[in-house]
């Protein structure tokens, strides 16, 4: 196995160190294990590797990024994966900052892991002239798949799925939202028409029997769908602008959500006031 790709696997869970490396070896990889940050740093200084797979939390939360950073400095050509059981936007941002090639969610399918390793190794030396794209361009190109990913996530949410509306009605406005937000990230201001559009969205959701928490949850599902798109297209995205673009993108989505929530509450208050007036009128007639 002298020509086998060499993997450094770092995880403080003994059961995983005993089970995953033999499986990876059966796929033709040479695997070295480390249980602590200090062990991993020693091994990185002593040996060369093609791939690093490091748990995010080794002893302490975020320790994995110390290992990632050390590998990036000592062996910049190595493919770097961070492994986590608790995915979060903050972890994704830190992974981007450390120029991780991908992050994997525990538990991960072995075949999917092997496919990702082989894919990243194959792309390790990209052909010259390949241009990375801004996040906004990638989102525009994947607008339909992001919308579909969001729709499926929404339909798997018991409370959202319980609202009896069609798929076309449920996802109405999502593609437009992606277009508006990417335009804003590129520099244009949020217009009065944008505000009115998302105010109408909030009023529409009120009529469809949504609640404010469900409005917020739908937005979080959309953010998750965009994050999934980022992960799937990580090697195509321009790294230098990725973090500010993501922060601007999600911040703009939240601003538009505020317009929807305000209109939702206003619609609710208006209907409540109308109901009170109607009740008073009935009382007068009854007298």
Token pair for 182: 């990417």
154 with 61, same domain: the answer is no
Residue after which a domain boundary falls, among 98, 122, 146 = 122
93 with 166, same domain: the answer is no
Question: What is the pLDDT averaged over residues 70-98?
Answer: 70
The answer to the question of residue 15 being in a domain is yes
pLDDT at 60: 81
pLDDT at 109: 82
The answer to the question of residue 127 being in a domain is no
The answer to the question of residue 287 being in a domain is no
The answer to the question of residue 285 being in a domain is no
**% of the chain exceeding 90 in pLDDT:** 42
The answer to the question of residue 227 being in a domain is yes
pLDDT over 50 (residue 89): no
85 versus 275: the higher-pLDDT residue is: 85
Residue after which a domain boundary falls, among 67, 87, 122 = 122
Give the chain's mean pLDDT.
Answer: 83
pLDDT at 286: 40
244 with 173, same domain: the answer is yes
Per the structure, the complete domain to which residue 216 belongs is given by 135-279
Per-residue pLDDT of 138-147, as tens digits, reads: 999 999 999 9
232 with 172, same domain: the answer is yes
14 versus 128: the higher-pLDDT residue is: 14
The answer to the question of residue 286 being in a domain is no
pLDDT at 186: 86
Contacts of 167 (CB under 8 A, 6+ apart): 151, 155
CA-CA distance, 217 to 23, in Å (whole number)?
Answer: 38
pLDDT over 50 (residue 280): no
Q: What is the CATH number of the domain that holds 37?
A: 3.40.50.2300
The answer to the question of residue 284 being in a domain is no
CA distances from 56 to 85, 105, 196 (A): 8, 10, 43
254 with 146, same domain: the answer is yes
257 with 146, same domain: the answer is yes
pLDDT at 225: 92
pLDDT over 60 (residue 281): no
177 with 113, same domain: the answer is no
101 with 201, same domain: the answer is no
Among the listed ranges 16-20, 150-154, 280-284, which one has the minimum average pLDDT value? 280-284
77 with 148, same domain: the answer is no
Per-residue pLDDT of 227-273, as tens digits, reads: 888 888 877 787 767 888 888 999 999 999 999 999 999 988 887 76
pLDDT over 70 (residue 226): yes
231 with 259, same domain: the answer is yes
51 with 162, same domain: the answer is no
Question: What is the pLDDT averaged over residues 54-60?
Answer: 84
CA-CA distance, 242 to 184, in Å (whole number)?
Answer: 15
pLDDT at 228: 87
The answer to the question of residue 129 being in a domain is no
Question: What is the pLDDT averaged over residues 65-78?
Answer: 87
Number of independent structural domains in the chain: 2
145 with 275, same domain: the answer is yes
pLDDT at 69: 85
Question: What is the pLDDT averaged over residues 101-123?
Answer: 82
Question: What is the pLDDT averaged over residues 17-40?
Answer: 92
pLDDT over 60 (residue 190): yes
59 versus 201: the higher-pLDDT residue is: 201
Question: pTM of the full predicted structure?
Answer: 0.55
pLDDT at 40: 93
Q: What is the CATH number of the domain that holds 194?
A: 1.10.490
Residue after which a domain boundary falls, among 75, 90, 122 = 122
62 versus 52: the higher-pLDDT residue is: 52
């Amino acid at each position: 196995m002298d020509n086998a790709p060499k993997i450094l696997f770092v995880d403080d869970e003994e059961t995983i160190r005993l089970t995953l490396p033999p499986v990876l070896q059966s796929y033709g990889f040479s695997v070295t294990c480390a249980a602590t940050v200090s062990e991993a740093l020693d091994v990185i200084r002593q040996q060369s590797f093609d791939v690093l797979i490091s748990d995010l939390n080794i002893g302490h939360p975020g320790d994995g990024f110390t290992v990632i950073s050390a590998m990036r400095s000592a062996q910049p050509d190595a493919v770097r994966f961070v492994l986590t059981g608790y995915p979060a936007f903050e972890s994704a941002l830190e992974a981007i900052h450390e120029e991780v090639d991908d992050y994997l969610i525990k538990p991960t399918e072995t075949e999917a892991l092997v496919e990702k390793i082989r894919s990243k190794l194959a792309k390790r030396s990209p052909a010259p002239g390949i241009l990375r794209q801004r996040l906004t361009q990638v989102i525009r190109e994947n607008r339909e798949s992001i919308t579909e990913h969001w729709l499926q996530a929404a339909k798997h949410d018991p409370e959202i799925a319980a609202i009896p509306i069609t798929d076309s009605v449920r996802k109405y406005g999502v593609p437009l939202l992606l277009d508006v937000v990417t335009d804003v990230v590129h520099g244009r201001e949020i217009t009065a028409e944008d505000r009115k559009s998302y105010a109408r969205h909030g009023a529409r959701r009120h009529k469809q029997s949504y609640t404010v928490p469900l409005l917020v949850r739908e937005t979080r599902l959309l953010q998750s769908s965009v994050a999934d798109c980022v992960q799937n297209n990580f090697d195509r995205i321009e790294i230098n602008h990725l973090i500010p673009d993501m922060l601007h993108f999600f911040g703009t989505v939240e601003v538009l959500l505020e317009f929807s929530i305000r209109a939702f509450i206003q619609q609710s208050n208006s209907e409540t006031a109308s109901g009170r007036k109607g009740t008073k009128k009935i009382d007068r007639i009854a007298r």
